[in-house]
Structure 1
């Protein structure tokens, strides 16, 4: 195992964050990032080209956090880690922060390979199982109606139909049972108490782990240092308000975590400066909402809101995620009386800002 303690000379980014360990482990390596905690990294075949996982020393064995995507490269990296990085010691349990494929992709494989139980929150486990089952069939018509309402072209909807089922391609069959984690649970790992902290918005019931004794926070996708986690509305719940959940979670974490917390994120590098980062994430969405309200001075579709939400044009390669996030910002405004929508005869929603009195702005 490579050795790199959190006391390494920190590198600042000019945004209030410092990175004590800027050099990430290669796939198959395990780097000590804090007392008893190893940092692992796996490649992803996307623009976001990596995901982090962690291993916590647990007596004579290990507790693992997240798995990476189901790919031959990730399987090979895990085989190396299990044999060498974890010193051949047993895996006592696997905790998955949430149900996105880059976090649960090899949960079933790892549980079968090691005999370890799977621990997740209920909503994450059930949603993952639901998506595995649903995407085994044909693309649902409700999805086509949802994307039509957002302003997609017929050609874009047909491509979505043809590509439907991507979730299951990146996830091995999940274990048929699990152990439930809930907000506030205390888990003993290697003689230390870890508190379960649940966030929402990026996913339904995202599990983070906080070791209060030295303020170490395994954040998953709930706090990322350089990018903002996707916060999306999906066809299965088109009236949802995930951005409201996300903003509430940011505020809660801001009040909960000490400034000296070392954050271990799922993408990017471990960092200090959690308050500055939470403030920046909140501010980024507030700016996007203001830009979006300006766009909605003229009736606009979801797809017309992309430049306001993202500050740039969006290509077809990320059209689904971009649509989901723009829809989340529009639903947020609608829930708070700041925007309305009207559906035309072609099934397309047109959104308009609601003028606010000076006293309410």
Structure 2
């Protein structure tokens, strides 16, 4: 088995420019206003002079301008969205109205996007802050998050009201080639990846990234959920793909080494679990273990994901019987390991 990743396309396309990565499959790279400063979008040749679009980018005038440049000589045929996060879904409504497109995505992702946008059903800023305060978030950061408000709407100012539903195992024929839908959980509720067996291509979205592990977090709507178990199980859905599959991720460079990357991700999360378990010699909140999992300084945006990810690893330790969840009289939740302490 290949043990290291290789990168057959090391040069990234300029903003608004399209690079071909395989016959009939093209790479469009868009900016993001975060530390993770880019997203990869994909165009798949469809009928004559038409392309299917995979993901949308974050809503901003420069991304819209880049789309117009990229599609100046191409007519889009349909829009496929991997999941509801704003860098993937944020310009869906605009693209659909601008080019009269239909949308394909999974049911859970479509509805979750609307729940987050409207701040309902456990997806409000207030619900998030209540969860984070219960897990040790200090008031200065809580106030900053409260002042920020519903950040999702900035990246997705308007959402579509209709879609075609994708299920795991569905097949899409695009430009005469068949793409199989593989859904995954953990990063988001029902993330869609696309596999083309005839070309040995996988559009992996955020499920398989070459350099970083995708965020796996716990959110207020299901505070005792175990999304890390879901994510690790979902990785198994890609193991049957050929070793020489070209993986087209949403962030980072296209790579070969699918099985090696799956092994690396499993090892990474087990190492993080072991480090975290060792830190729980006394009861700690999720906020208190963030420095154990993340050594660098974090901005307000990153703290949201870091606390969600800390909770995901803590909940997984509880599910494995390696830690215990405690609820204190101060209303805060703490975790302590169940093995011997020193």
TM norm structure 2? 0.94
Aligned to 2:46: 58
Once residues 252 and 201 of structure 1 are traced to their aligned partners in structure 2, the CA distance between those partners, rounded to angstroms, is 13
Structure 2 residue 90 is the aligned partner of structure 1 residue 102:
no
Flag the 1:294–1:165 CA change in 2: closer, same or farther, 3 A: same
SS at match of 1:155: helix
SS at match of 2:109: helix
Structure 2 residue 307 is the aligned partner of structure 1 residue 319:
no
Aligned to 1:154: 139
Aligned to 2:22: 34
Q: CA deviation at 1:316?
A: 4.0
Aligned to 2:111: 126
Once residues 128 and 77 of structure 1 are traced to their aligned partners in structure 2, the CA distance between those partners, rounded to angstroms, is 24
Contact 1:139 1:161 in 2 (8 A): no
Q: CA deviation at 1:314?
A: 4.1
Q: CA deviation at 1:310?
A: 3.0
Aligned to 2:198: 213
Once residues 55 and 141 of structure 1 are traced to their aligned partners in structure 2, the CA distance between those partners, rounded to angstroms, is 38
Q: CA deviation at 1:214?
A: 2.1
Match of 1:328 among 312, 316, 339: 312
Write the mapping of 1:1-361 to structure 2, written as runs, cut at 5 A: 16-60=4-48, 61-83=50-72, 87=73, 89-134=74-119, 140-253=125-238, 255-312=239-296, 314-355=298-339
Once residues 292 and 234 of structure 2 are traced to their aligned partners in structure 1, the CA distance between those partners, rounded to angstroms, is 23
Query: Could you list the per-position Cα deviations for residues 151-208 of structure 1 after superposition, in whole angstroms to 9, with x for gaps in the alignment?
Result: 1112222221111200011113122110000100011000001100111111110000
Query: Could you list the per-position Cα deviations for residues 42-64 of structure 1 after superposition, in whole angstroms to 9, with x for gaps in the alignment?
Result: 01111111000000000121100
Farther-moved stretch of structure 1 (241-250 vs 306-315): 306-315
Q: How many residues align?
A: 337
Once residues 197 and 315 of structure 1 are traced to their aligned partners in structure 2, the CA distance between those partners, rounded to angstroms, is 33
Query: Could you list the per-position Cα deviations for residues 286-335 of structure 1 after superposition, in whole angstroms to 9, with x for gaps in the alignment?
Result: 00000111011211111122233235554544111100000000011111
Contact 1:145 1:347 in 2 (8 A): no
- Tell me: higher relative CO, structure 1 or 2? Use CA pairs within 8 A at least 6 residues apart: 2
Query: Could you list the per-position Cα deviations for residues 203-225 of structure 1 after superposition, in whole angstroms to 9, with x for gaps in the alignment?
Result: 11000000001210000001000
Q: CA deviation at 1:15?
A: 6.4
Unaligned runs of 5+ in 2: none
Contact 2:145 2:300 in 1 (8 A): no
SS at match of 2:181: strand
Contact 1:149 1:343 in 2 (8 A): no
Unaligned runs of 5+ in 1: 1-13, 357-361
Flag the 1:238–1:225 CA change in 2: closer, same or farther, 3 A: same
SS at match of 1:18: coil
TM norm structure 1? 0.90
Q: CA deviation at 1:143?
A: 2.6
